[in-house]
């Protein structure tokens, strides 16, 4: 039997941060004039702070003069006898309560717990299964009307049968512990006396895991007291936390965790495409029961910080295998992206950018992608945001370059008002956990109604749109697919995040929005931004010289056009520019084995009735097929009664009209399909992409 551990002799003075929600609920129960018997289910990974929280609850209960007992589940949950013996010994040692001779131990414990308000804290409840039947049938029913609070801490939380119990389910409150926020980490480091410059670096590297944070501080204090020791901060990042996670899962599951860290979410079949040996149903179920794994509609997923730690560990343990697995995941996600809805596409795009974040700038004047900040769930601009955005813009004008180079500074406020009024969907907002805006960019979607306002605030832009102006003037708002960004600002005074971190977060979220088949246009004369846009795969589209604005000089027009290239093609281009030779070669090898894309399918369809010319196409020559065989295969696909997945009947109809019948122009075709020309163009690209998948399978069968 262990007495309540008031202090740990191996740990120096500790400062407690977080737990506000949990402690508020605990203190509310302590002060409730009519307390009911309840259960608090505390769960979380090793090192997240479960024991620390129970110790804080112990102190609060003692101060409230409430009977408080502590059990260690490692040794005192093996049998009902061990459980009762632990409670009996604790009552005697802590409170001097002795059992009368002949009184059964169960009766003694129940009598003492019902005598007054009581708190029973049980740490390490993972071994509860051995006695949970006895607890629910013989022990807890005797305390139904008593004022007893059970606080049960474990990695995976209480099993499902506790929550579905008609007697106890409604008495349980779940408290899954999360990682510390940046604010809580910095608060802790400040209390520990760390230098301000060191705090930021430690906060970034410890990722909010409490045990990792506390041990890092111990290491730094130790090294500061030993002048001959090296700083050692570079040795800390992934190893300690990955070891904790490895210990939290069985060895059989750790490989699955490593692969899961590369995916936004995965069901059993998706995981097994990347695992050798595959995970059976029992293993997948066990994986889902780990406290740091969450079940979603798309399969199992990891907290983004935990996933980052596991990825770092994977890359350090086996760099070559990590590159192979990451590239396999990339190909799999690129395939899923093509068939996903817009919301899923945003999630996949954000995940792939995080997966390859190392190839984005880590030291840039406007965007530092090295910090693993998550943009969270996208929330569109709301009218009530406008006041906060105006404040961000006003604060950013003077000390930084977070302003437009196209527009007079005096017109910024009016421009933002007009964008919010006439083109609110052109505002991209990054928020903190409470929903408060941290950064934004804003511009007009280009169509007939917005061109006059664009001309009013930045008249020189229209000169660079001369080739499109006529079409844009008659384009409806619903058909617009091009956003011209005019304003951007971040919270330059934020106490927790630097402007460059927020800049990277804003750029990531904006890029994710563009991936759904849109085009973004930006203008700048800033050499730093010109360099950033080039790295991020923007295309230089011309120059403009403006006089009388905040920047008198030549501005470059940059475009990122996802209407004419796929998201995965863009990612590959960014990696080719910034990645190592080995990774580029790996991607090239994988591309050679990849399915036929929409561009190749279009080339075949355009030459469908010229079989000899078709045979000269690289994709056809590579397969070693005759043009007539490919022609027959394509015609069969497009005229089949049931379209082969992922080709739809609409896809078939569009491709037949465009490439087989060829008796109408694009405007007529768009009208026939009840679409705008822009929408019809998007559907055609999607149909070609789907055709590439089906044609790959069909031609492979022809080759035998």
The first and second tokens of residue 91, run together, are 């009552």
Domain boundary among the residues 359, 394, 417 is at: 359
The arithmetic mean of pLDDT across residues 356-377, rounded, is 70
Q: Are residue 110 and residue 199 in the same domain, yes or no?
A: no
Q: State the DSSP string of 305-362.
A: HHHHHHHHHHHHH-HHHHHHHHHHHHHHHHHHHHHS-HHHHHHHHHHHHHHTGGGS-S
In a domain, 192, yes or no: yes
Segments forming the whole domain that contains residue 661: 595-703
Q: Judge whether residue 264 has pLDDT over 70.
A: yes
| Separation between Cα atoms, residue 311 and residue 200, nearest integer Å | 22
pLDDT top residue among 257 and 571: 257
- Asked which of 408-422, 534-548, 554-568 is least confident by mean pLDDT, the reply is 534-548
The first and second tokens of residue 404, run together, are 């437009």
Phi, psi of 68 (to 5 degrees): -130, 120
* pLDDT value of residue 285: 85
Burial of 181 (0-12, 13-18, 19+ CB in 10 A): middle
Most confident range, picked from 307-321, 438-452, 486-500: 438-452
Q: Are residue 503 and residue 544 in the same domain, yes or no?
A: yes
Burial of 202 (0-12, 13-18, 19+ CB in 10 A): buried
Q: Are residue 128 and residue 225 in the same domain, yes or no?
A: no
Q: Judge whether residue 417 has pLDDT over 90.
A: yes
* pLDDT value of residue 429: 93
Planar angle of CA 321, 376, 16, nearest 5 degrees: 90
Q: Are residue 473 and residue 603 in the same domain, yes or no?
A: no
pLDDT top residue among 125 and 564: 125
pLDDT tens-digit series, residues 587-613: 555 544 445 777 888 889 989 888 888
* pLDDT value of residue 427: 95
pLDDT top residue among 495 and 653: 653
In this prediction, residue 248 has a pLDDT band, given cuts at 50, 70 and 90, of low
Q: State the DSSP string of 632-674.
A: HHHHHHHH-SSPPTT--HHHHHHHIIIIII--S-HHHHHHHTT
| Separation between Cα atoms, residue 579 and residue 355, nearest integer Å | 13
Q: Are residue 387 and residue 248 in the same domain, yes or no?
A: no
Closest-CA residue to 290 (of 55, 48, 56, 57)? 48
* pLDDT value of residue 172: 93
Q: Cα 309 to the chain's mean position, in Å?
A: 13
Q: Judge whether residue 415 has pLDDT over 90.
A: yes
Task: Determine contact, residues 425/382, Cβ cutoff 8 Å.
Answer: no
| Separation between Cα atoms, residue 667 and residue 650, nearest integer Å | 17
* Residues paired with 439 in a beta bridge: 430, 490
pLDDT tens-digit series, residues 198-234: 787 777 777 777 767 776 776 676 566 555 544 455 5
Q: How many CB atoms lie within 10 A of CB 127?
A: 15
Structure-token match 């993972």, residue found: 126
Q: Judge whether residue 152 has pLDDT over 90.
A: yes
In a domain, 7, yes or no: no
The arithmetic mean of pLDDT across residues 368-391, rounded, is 80
% of residues, the chain, pLDDT over 70: 84
Q: Are residue 493 and residue 554 in the same domain, yes or no?
A: yes
* pLDDT value of residue 374: 63
The first and second tokens of residue 348, run together, are 């996949």
| Separation between Cα atoms, residue 643 and residue 409, nearest integer Å | 56
* pLDDT value of residue 309: 78
Q: Judge whether residue 303 has pLDDT over 50.
A: yes
For the chain, how many helices (H) and strands (E)? 33, 13
Most confident range, picked from 180-194, 254-268, 277-291, 615-629: 254-268
Q: Are residue 157 and residue 190 in the same domain, yes or no?
A: no
Q: Are residue 115 and residue 57 in the same domain, yes or no?
A: yes
Q: Cα dist. 243→60, 237, 246, 309, 310 in Å?
A: 32, 11, 5, 10, 9
* pLDDT value of residue 12: 38
At 465, which CATH number?
Answer: 3.40.630.30
Task: HSE, CB side, 13 Å, CA atoms: give it for residue 556.
Answer: 16
The arithmetic mean of pLDDT across residues 111-135, rounded, is 87
% of residues, the chain, pLDDT over 90: 18
Domain boundary among the residues 144, 176, 208 is at: 176
Task: Determine contact, residues 45/245, Cβ cutoff 8 Å.
Answer: yes
Task: Determine contact, residues 591/611, Cβ cutoff 8 Å.
Answer: no
Three-class secondary structure of residue 69 per DSSP = strand
At 64, which CATH number?
Answer: 3.40.50.300
In a domain, 574, yes or no: no
Q: Is the peptide bond before 105 cis (omega within 30 degrees of 0)?
A: no
Contacts of 619 by beta carbon, 8 Å cutoff, 6+ apart: 596, 600, 603, 604
Task: Determine contact, residues 530/400, Cβ cutoff 8 Å.
Answer: no
- Asked which of 145-154, 248-257, 276-285, 377-386 is least confident by mean pLDDT, the reply is 248-257
* pLDDT value of residue 368: 75
pLDDT top residue among 42 and 667: 42
Burial of 495 (0-12, 13-18, 19+ CB in 10 A): exposed
Task: Determine contact, residues 174/21, Cβ cutoff 8 Å.
Answer: no
The arithmetic mean of pLDDT across residues 172-198, rounded, is 82
**Residue 48: DSSP 8-state:** S
Three-class secondary structure of residue 87 per DSSP = helix
| Separation between Cα atoms, residue 646 and residue 654, nearest integer Å | 14
Domain boundary among the residues 176, 196, 213 is at: 176
Orientation angle between helical segments 196-206 and 182-191, nearest 10 degrees: 130
In a domain, 378, yes or no: no
Query: What SS3 string covers 501-551?
Result: HHHHHHHHHHHHHHCCCCEEEEEECCHHHHHHHHHCCCEEEEEEEECCCCC
pLDDT top residue among 455 and 45: 455
The arithmetic mean of pLDDT across residues 99-106, rounded, is 89
pLDDT tens-digit series, residues 52-93: 899 899 999 999 999 999 888 767 777 888 889 889 888 988
Contacts of 55 by beta carbon, 8 Å cutoff, 6+ apart: 5, 6
- Asked which of 28-42, 297-311, 647-661 is least confident by mean pLDDT, the reply is 297-311
* Residues paired with 300 in a beta bridge: 266, 295
Task: HSE, CB side, 13 Å, CA atoms: give it for residue 611.
Answer: 11
* pLDDT value of residue 444: 93
| Edge-to-edge strand ranges of the sheet holding 437-445 | 427-431, 437-445, 482-490, 519-524, 553-561, 539-546
The first and second tokens of residue 102, run together, are 């002949």
Q: Judge whether residue 419 has pLDDT over 90.
A: yes
How many domains does the structure of the chain reveal?
A: 5
Three-class secondary structure of residue 589 per DSSP = helix
Task: Determine contact, residues 545/502, Cβ cutoff 8 Å.
Answer: no
In a domain, 510, yes or no: yes
Residues in the chain: 704
Q: Are residue 440 and residue 557 in the same domain, yes or no?
A: yes
In a domain, 364, yes or no: no
What stretch of H or E contains 187? helix 182-191
Q: Are residue 257 and residue 295 in the same domain, yes or no?
A: yes
Burial of 673 (0-12, 13-18, 19+ CB in 10 A): middle
Q: Are residue 393 and residue 303 in the same domain, yes or no?
A: no
Tell whether the torsion through CA atoms of 61, 62, 64 and 65 is positive or negative.
positive
Q: pLDDT averaged over the chain?
A: 80
Task: Determine contact, residues 149/119, Cβ cutoff 8 Å.
Answer: yes
What stretch of H or E contains 76? helix 73-76
In a domain, 466, yes or no: yes
Q: Cα 5 to the chain's mean position, in Å?
A: 38
In this prediction, residue 11 has a pLDDT band, given cuts at 50, 70 and 90, of very low
* pLDDT value of residue 117: 94
The arithmetic mean of pLDDT across residues 156-168, rounded, is 85
Q: Are residue 271 and residue 166 in the same domain, yes or no?
A: no
In a domain, 4, yes or no: no
pLDDT tens-digit series, residues 458-494: 877 777 776 788 888 888 888 888 999 999 999 888 8
* Residues paired with 153 in a beta bridge: 42
């Amino acid at each position: 039997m262990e007495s309540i551990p008031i202090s740990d002799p191996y740990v120096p003075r500790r400062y407690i941060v977080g737990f506000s929600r949990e402690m508020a609920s605990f203190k509310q129960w302590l002060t409730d004039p009519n307390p009911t018997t309840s259960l608090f289910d505390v769960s979380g990974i090793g090192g997240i702070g479960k024991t620390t929280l129970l110790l804080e609850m112990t102190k609060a209960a003692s101060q409230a003069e409430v009977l408080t007992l502590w059990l260690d589940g490692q040794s005192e949950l093996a049998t009902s006898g061990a459980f009762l013996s632990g409670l009996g010994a604790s009552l005697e040692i802590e409170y001097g309560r002795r059992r009368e001779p002949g009184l059964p131990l169960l009766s003694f414990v129940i009598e003492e717990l019902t005598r007054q308000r009581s708190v029973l804290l049980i740490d390490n409840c993972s071994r509860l299964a051995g006695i949970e039947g006895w607890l629910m049938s013989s022990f807890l029913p005797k305390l139904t009307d008593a004022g007893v609070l059970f606080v049960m801490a474990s990695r995976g939380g209480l099993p499902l049968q506790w929550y579905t119990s008609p007697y106890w389910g409604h008495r349980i409150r779940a408290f899954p512990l999360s990682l510390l926020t940046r604010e809580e980490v910095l608060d802790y480091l400040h209390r520990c006396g760390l230098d301000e410059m060191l705090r930021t670096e430690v906060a970034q590297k410890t990722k909010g895991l409490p045990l990792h944070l506390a041990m890092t501080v111990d290491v730094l204090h130790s090294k500061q007291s030993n002048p001959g020791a090296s700083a050692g901060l570079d040795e800390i990042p992934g190893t300690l936390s990955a070891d904790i996670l490895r210990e939290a899962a069985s060895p059989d599951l750790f490989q699955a965790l490593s692969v899961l860290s590369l995916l936004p979410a995965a069901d059993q079949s998706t995981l097994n495409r990347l695992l050798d040996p595959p995970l059976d149903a029992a293993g997948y179920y066990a994986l889902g029961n780990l406290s740091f794994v969450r079940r979603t509609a798309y399969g199992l997923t990891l907290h983004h910080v935990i996933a980052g730690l596991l990825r770092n560990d994977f890359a350090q343990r086996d760099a070559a295998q990590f590159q192979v697995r990451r590239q396999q995941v990339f190909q799999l996600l690129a395939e899923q992206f093509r068939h996903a809805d817009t919301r899923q596409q945003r999630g996949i795009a954000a995940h792939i950018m995080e997966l390859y974040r190392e190839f984005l700038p880590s030291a840039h004047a406007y965007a530092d992608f090295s910090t693993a900040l998550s943009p969270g769930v996208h929330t569109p601009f709301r009218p009530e945001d406008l006041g906060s955005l105006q404040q961000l813009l006003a604060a950013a004008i003077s000390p930084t370059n977070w302003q437009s180079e196209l527009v007079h500074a005096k017109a910024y406020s009016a421009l933002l008002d007009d964008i919010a009024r006439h083109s609110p969907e052109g505002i991209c907002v990054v928020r903190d956990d409470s929903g408060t805006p941290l950064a934004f960019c804003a511009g007009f979607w280009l169509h007939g109604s917005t061109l006059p306002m664009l001309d009013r605030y930045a008249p020189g832009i229209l000169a660079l749109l001369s080739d499109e102006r006529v079409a844009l003037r008659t384009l409806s708002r619903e058909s617009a697919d091009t956003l011209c960004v005019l304003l951007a600002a971040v919270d330059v005074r934020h106490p927790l995040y630097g402007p460059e971190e927020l800049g990277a977060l804003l750029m990531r979220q904006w890029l994710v929005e563009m991936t759904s088949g849109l085009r973004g246009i930006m203008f700048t004369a800033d050499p730093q931004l010109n360099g950033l846009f080039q790295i991020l795969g923007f295309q230089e589209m011309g120059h403009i010289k403006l006089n009388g604005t905040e920047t008198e000089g030549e501005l470059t027009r940059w475009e990122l056009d996802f209407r004419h290239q796929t998201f995965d093609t863009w990612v590959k281009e960014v990696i080719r520019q910034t990645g190592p030779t080995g990774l580029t070669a790996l991607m090239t090898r994988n591309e050679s084995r990849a399915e036929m894309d929409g561009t190749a399918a279009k080339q075949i369809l355009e030459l469908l009735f010229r079989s000899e010319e078709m045979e000269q196409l690289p994709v056809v020559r590579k397969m070693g097929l005759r043009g007539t065989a490919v022609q027959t295969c394509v015609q069969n696909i497009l005229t089949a009664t049931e379209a082969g997945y992922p080709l739809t009947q609409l896809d078939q109809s569009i491709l037949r009209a465009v490439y087989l019948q060829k008796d109408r122009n694009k405007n007529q075709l768009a009208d026939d399909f009840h679409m705008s020309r822009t929408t019809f163009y998007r559907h055609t690209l999607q149909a070609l992409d789907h055709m590439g998948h089906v044609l790959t399978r069909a031609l492979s069968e022809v080759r035998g």
